[in-house]
Amino acid sequence: MDYEIVIVGAGPSGIFTAMTLAELGIKGIILIEQGKDLDHRTRSDPEDMLCGWGGAGAYSDGKLTLSTEVGGILKEFIEERPLYQLLEETDKIYAAHGAPDRIFGEPSHQLEEFAIRARLAGLELIPTRIRHIGTENCRAVLSGFRQALKERVDIRTGLKVQGLLAEDGRIMGVNLADGQIIHSRFVVVAPGRSGAAWMKHQAESLRLKTTASPVDIGVRVELPAVVFNGITDMSYESKLIHYSRTFDEKVRTFCMNPYGEVVAEENAGIITVNGHSYATKKSDNTNFAILVSSAFTEPFDDPIAYGHYIARLANLLGGGIIVQRLGDLLAGRRSTRERISRCLTRPTYTNATPGDLSFVFPYRHLVSIIEMLEALEKLAPGVYSRNTLLYGVEVKFYSNRIEISPEMETKIKNLFTIGDGAGVSRGLLQASASGILAARAIARRIEDGGV
Ligand SMILES: Cc1cc2nc3c(=O)[nH]c(=O)nc-3n(C[C@H](O)[C@H](O)[C@H](O)COP(=O)(O)OP(=O)(O)OC[C@H]3O[C@@H](n4cnc5c(N)ncnc54)[C@H](O)[C@@H]3O)c2cc1C
């Protein structure tokens, strides 16, 4: 046996697996990452954005959402209370490695009042406690993890795992893209969203059962920070859910970035919009996504292809991201450079093409987005302004879900799969927590002397 445990992927889930195993005194761990080491990653290289030490977490906004309801599906495996405790434990590890002390959204009378006002506006507020690392601090925290592991785990970057080796229903190791084979007793696969297609292929060849996850499609909204600061100063982000009047479709706010910036993201040749914020550097605007979750009509069962199709359409029409003033959308006309230059909300992302989002979104999505904005206006006057900017499209793809046990083990013995790539998580905290679960299960087996 070359190693006791191979971990594939050095995103938050893989890193937390390694850190937990090392803390428990387990030896013989190799962590393999296809991307670059942290110091060699640059924001300007699209390949570095999602891959390398820290995975997608390296350039994320670093919001650690202490909620069992968002950021993953761990609540399907663990009871509410122990799960919350696990998330708190995970969060403390981030704090111990340099994440800022402040937690937003602590229960308060003010927050309760806000939840009631939201309800009156037809919106459900999901209360969440959030620790905000901030994009500029993520690197330091990830570097802290790297330091903590460097003597205890064999870390290899720039090395891609090609395939998973299994025999008689048991994992035997992995083979690498450069032809090497590594034998091991346990394999933990943590490939993230960027490795989801590879993971799907591995699952197929190992005959692991998978189910398609939904796709969420929508826009990124940008408006003056003052419109939302009553809530964002108190709870950083407000997660609000609305069921649209016309289609009774679930629409939600997502990834709110107070005083933040809108950014472009490229994945598999498709450009989509996203947002982030710094812990210290502040813009005048707040941005957040409005996402529509559609339940498709049978027999259609390929939500990822649908999401790609809509994103490609926006890229085809706008050469990338399209921006439109809400006033123009409602008046049935495109935004032009001249109209955007007169817009009272100054765009933080200036490379978007002024255009018409009604050429991109299906009717039901557009109507649901507009109805959500109307509902938000009742809660935060100013949202439904002509000068609110809408960037399209924002698409959230989730990986296919692989059938796993509450210990994160697949049907192949000693093969564990965790994080976003396994469809278990959609955020830093649940991804990291899933790594802890897999590590603890492995450590128990090793201590028991079992296989
Ligand atoms: C712009 C942006 C902002 C975000 N902001 C937030 C936020 O504020 N809060 C939040 O909770 N979440 C946020 N997220 C999501 C968060 O980053 C992810 O949920 C989290 O990183 C998932 O962790 P992971 O370990 O599962 O996967 P990843 O972080 O994606 O890491 C997977 C790693 O595995 C490697 N890999 C894949 N396949 C192989 C292979 N075959 N061989 C070797 N290596 C492989 C990849 O290169 C990658 O480095 C954001 C994401 C993005 C893109």
Ligand 1: list residues with CB < 6 Å: 8-14, 32-35, 50-52, 55-57, 59-63, 65, 71, 160-161, 190-195, 198, 265, 274, 276, 419-421, 425-429, 431
Specify the DSSP element, H or E, that contains 306.
Answer: helix 303-318
Same-domain status, 362 and 410: no
Same-domain status, 203 and 220: no
In a domain, 319, yes or no: yes
Same-domain status, 224 and 192: no
Same-domain status, 273 and 382: yes
Cα–Cα distance measured from residue 57 to residue 427, given in angstroms and rounded to the nearest whole number: 9
Same-domain status, 383 and 443: no
Helix (H, G, I), strand (E, B) or coil at 373: helix
Does the structure show a pLDDT above 90 at 125?
yes
Cα–Cα distance measured from residue 442 to residue 440, given in angstroms and rounded to the nearest whole number: 5
Q: Which residues contact 268 (CB under 8 A, 6 or more apart)?
A: 308
Same-domain status, 83 and 160: yes
In a domain, 111, yes or no: no
Same-domain status, 60 and 12: yes
Four-residue CA torsion sign, 366, 368, 374, 378: negative
Nearest CA to ligand 1 atom 52: 60
Mean pLDDT of the chain: 94
Nearest CA to ligand 1 atom 1: 60
Q: In this predicted structure, what is the pLDDT of residue 451?
A: 57
Greatest mean pLDDT among 67-71, 115-119, 274-278 lies in: 115-119
Burial level of 350, CB count in 10 A (0-12/13-18/19+)? exposed
Task: List the beta strands (DSSP E) in 356-421.
Answer: 389-397, 401-402, 415-417
What's phi and psi for 269, nearest 5 deg? 80, 5
The answer to whether 290 touches 223, Cβ cutoff 8 Å, is: no
Q: In this predicted structure, what is the pLDDT of residue 415?
A: 98
Nearest CA to ligand 1 atom 19: 427
Terminal Cα distance for the chain, rounded: 13
In a domain, 294, yes or no: yes
The answer to whether 222 touches 389, Cβ cutoff 8 Å, is: yes
Does the structure show a pLDDT above 80 at 450?
no
In a domain, 301, yes or no: yes
Ligand 1 center from residue 159 Cα (angstroms): 17
Ligand 1 center from residue 207 Cα (angstroms): 25
Does the structure show a pLDDT above 90 at 36?
yes
Q: In this predicted structure, what is the pLDDT of residue 90?
A: 98
Residue type, 158: G
Domain count, the chain: 2
Task: Tell me the DSSP string of 73-107.
Answer: -GGGTS-HHHHHHHHHHHHHHHHHTT--S-EE---
| Between 267 and 124, residue with greater pLDDT | 124
Structural domain that includes position 390 = 215-397
In a domain, 429, yes or no: yes
Least confident of 88-92, 157-161, 182-186, 271-275: 271-275
Report the CATH number at residue 20. Answer: 3.50.50.60
Residue holding tokens 């609110």? 388
Same-domain status, 270 and 226: yes
Tokens of 119: 């309800």
Produce one character per residue of 129-144: b if its CB has 16 or more CB atoms within 10 Å, e if not.
Answer: bbbbbbbebbbebbbb
The 10s digit of each residue's pLDDT in 318-376 is 999 999 999 999 999 999 999 999 999 999 999 999 999 999 999 999 999 999 999 99
In a domain, 389, yes or no: yes
Cα–Cα distance measured from residue 418 to residue 425, given in angstroms and rounded to the nearest whole number: 8
Ligand 1 center from residue 10 Cα (angstroms): 9
Averaged over 82-98, what is the pLDDT? 97
In a domain, 52, yes or no: yes
Q: Across-strand partners of 261?
A: 276
Averaged over 34-52, what is the pLDDT? 91
Same-domain status, 335 and 283: yes
Nearest CA to ligand 1 atom 45: 9
The 10s digit of each residue's pLDDT in 228-239 is 998 888 888 889
The answer to whether 215 touches 397, Cβ cutoff 8 Å, is: yes
In a domain, 116, yes or no: no
Q: In this predicted structure, what is the pLDDT of residue 216?
A: 92
Same-domain status, 170 and 247: no
- Ligand 1 site-directed mutation target among 20, 32, 61, 160, most atoms within 8 Å of CB: 61
pTM of the model: 0.89
